[in-house]
Structure 1
């Protein structure tokens, strides 16, 4: 994503928006809280306040640039919206998040919706459990 993507989404290109977008694009972790973005910006020497981070992430969500997830714990997690659907596995102990796509699950959800007269407009599947590291630590 670049400044043209911000303009295409109807957002003015500003330094805070570009820095936050870079943070989301370049992070090893695709799923970041506003606090994670803020800490990353502070570590890289960028002086952007936490309130600005929240405001920009909300603007990005409204513009369709990021998706907001509400996993267990109540904290909002953001990821760039690359247009590809995927579901999530979330570790209830350490908070690790893994993405996955399973055609069989997607097909089954379509069938359930159709059998009940629904047309799916959006959906999410979140599976909670223990990641391999946390399971091995038991």
Structure 2
């Protein structure tokens, strides 16, 4: 599976943000690489297990993946456009260790994804009215 794994790795090196396995499969096919969907699943899983890809789950449960740095980090994810920023969270690390210890767990690991709206999408959204009640009959 080395050729296919390398092809998947190459696709991710050209992408920004998180992408579904189906999207990666489609991009491989567009590039003329006849890799089966099951093979893409296996390659993505292998790259994720090796720490080359991060994954998150959407509200609908779909797994999305992206290339990532190898050191431990957390994510800020825009709900609108999917933009993702890697962030360090020393306070989260201390909290996770403390909670694990309080409950008798050793060697804790965790993932943290904070979802919100990035500055660009927030600026692009319509401004809320300045407090005026615009409902029918409201404010009359």
2:5 corresponds to: 17
For residues 115 and 121 of structure 1, do their structure 2 counterparts lie closer, same or farther at Cα, with a shift above 3 Å needed? closer
For residues 120 and 81 of structure 1, do their structure 2 counterparts lie closer, same or farther at Cα, with a shift above 3 Å needed? farther
Which segment drifts farther, 125-134 or 37-46?
37-46
1:128 corresponds to: 115
Alpha-carbon distance between aligned partners in 1 of 2:101 and 2:114, rounded to the nearest angstrom:
23
* Contact 1:20/1:53, CA 8 A, preserved across alignment: yes
For residues 127 and 44 of structure 1, do their structure 2 counterparts lie closer, same or farther at Cα, with a shift above 3 Å needed? same
2:44 corresponds to: 57
TM-score normalised per structure 1? 0.70
TM-score normalised per structure 2? 0.69
Alpha-carbon distance between aligned partners in 2 of 1:132 and 1:73, rounded to the nearest angstrom:
24
For residues 62 and 85 of structure 1, do their structure 2 counterparts lie closer, same or farther at Cα, with a shift above 3 Å needed? closer
Alpha-carbon distance between aligned partners in 2 of 1:46 and 1:87, rounded to the nearest angstrom:
33
For residues 32 and 101 of structure 1, do their structure 2 counterparts lie closer, same or farther at Cα, with a shift above 3 Å needed? same
**How many positions carry a matched residue from both structures?**
125
1:39 equivalent to 2:26? Answer yes
2:88 corresponds to: 101
2:79 corresponds to: 92
User: Cα RMSD over matched residues?
Assistant: 2.6
Could you tell me which runs of 5 or more consecutive residues in structure 1 were left unpaired when the two chains were aligned.
1-11
Alpha-carbon distance between aligned partners in 2 of 1:112 and 1:60, rounded to the nearest angstrom:
30
For residues 118 and 32 of structure 1, do their structure 2 counterparts lie closer, same or farther at Cα, with a shift above 3 Å needed? same
Could you tell me which runs of 5 or more consecutive residues in structure 2 were left unpaired when the two chains were aligned.
126-140
Identify the match of residue 118 of structure 1 among 98, 105, 111.
105
* SS state at 2:85 partner: strand
Higher Cα radius of gyration: 2
